[in-house]
Structure formats: C-alpha cells, structure tokens
Amino acid sequence: MFLSTNYFLSEQDDRMPHPIKITQIVGSSALLKPMKDIATLKITWQYLGTETEQIILQYTSYSNIVAFNSYFERRVKFDMETGSLLLKKLEVVDSGLYYMTAIQPSQNEILHKHTYFRVEVQ
C-alpha cells in the first residue's frame, strides 16, 4: 500500500449534492472535467447505470499507470494531467451517473474528493 504510516485515513464528505448535468446526442462525445489537485495520488472513475455499476479506470500518479476496464478502454480517453475523462461515440446506454474519486494527501490525513456527472444521451 502506498500510504505512509504518518497518514490517517479520513473520509471527507465533499460530495456534490447535485451532479453536473451533461446532455449529448448519440454518436457525440462528452468531456467530464473535474477539479484536480496536483498532489492527487490516485484517481478512480466509475459508472452507475440503471442496471450496473462499473469501474471505468484507476490511475496512480506515482507510477503513471492507468488500468482500464476492458469494456470502456476503447470508448474513453483519460487525461493524466487534468484527471478529465472523454466519453467517445456515446450511445443511449451510456446515460447514467459518472463519478471520480481522487485520493489526496493533506497534512496528516488522506482526503477522498468526489466529483459527479449526470450524463444523458438522447
């Protein structure tokens, strides 16, 4: 595990009460761009659909490794510098809640920051 013994795990509840809404048409793309701090250790993007929940990708900054879910690998583009996720060639089934969790060090604790997007494909 990458956490030093000096850190205490802390769940910071900064979840957005209302997700950022994005409406797109079939075949287009959607850019999900969260606020990202340079000190982020790990980013996880997830998808919550009406029938499924899937991890899209996980990124660890200290190794620059991005691990994609094979279903999403060819349909998304991840920007390591900004933490943004580009959804390509959208289909109606792509509608749902997308969220990013960023793990960041802060003094003597680890913060979990969340950003939510509600994507509707018409």
Beta-bridge partners for 104: 111
Average of per-residue pLDDT across 26-30 = 97
Residues 6 or more apart from 23 whose CB is under 8 A from it? 119, 120, 121, 122
> Of 96, 59, 84, 89, nearest to 72 (Cα)?
89
Residue 24 lies in a domain: yes
Report if residue 30 sits inside a domain: yes
Q: Count the domains in the chain.
A: 1
Considering the domain boundaries, does residue 108 fall inside one? yes
Tens digits of per-residue pLDDT, 65-93?
A: 999 999 999 999 999 888 999 999 999 99
pLDDT at 107 over 90: no
Q: What is the CATH number for 89?
A: 2.60.40.10
Asked whether residue 4 is domain-assigned, the answer is no
CA 86 – CA 76 distance, rounded (Å)? 5
Mean pLDDT of 90-118: 87
For residue 82, give both structure tokens. Answer: 């900004």
Domain of residue 64: give its range: 20-121
Provide the pLDDT for residue 18.
81
Q: How far apart are CA 116 and CA 92, in angstroms?
A: 19
Report the percentage of the chain scoring pLDDT > 90: 57
Q: Is residue 84 part of a domain?
A: yes
Could you tell me which residue, 14 or 81, shows the higher pLDDT? Answer: 81
Rg of the chain over all Cα atoms, to the nearest angstrom: 15
In a domain, 90, yes or no: yes
Residues 117, 32: contact at Cβ < 8 Å?
yes
What pLDDT score does 38 carry? 58
Q: How far apart are CA 115 and CA 107, in angstroms?
A: 22
In a domain, 68, yes or no: yes
Domain membership flag for residue 6: no
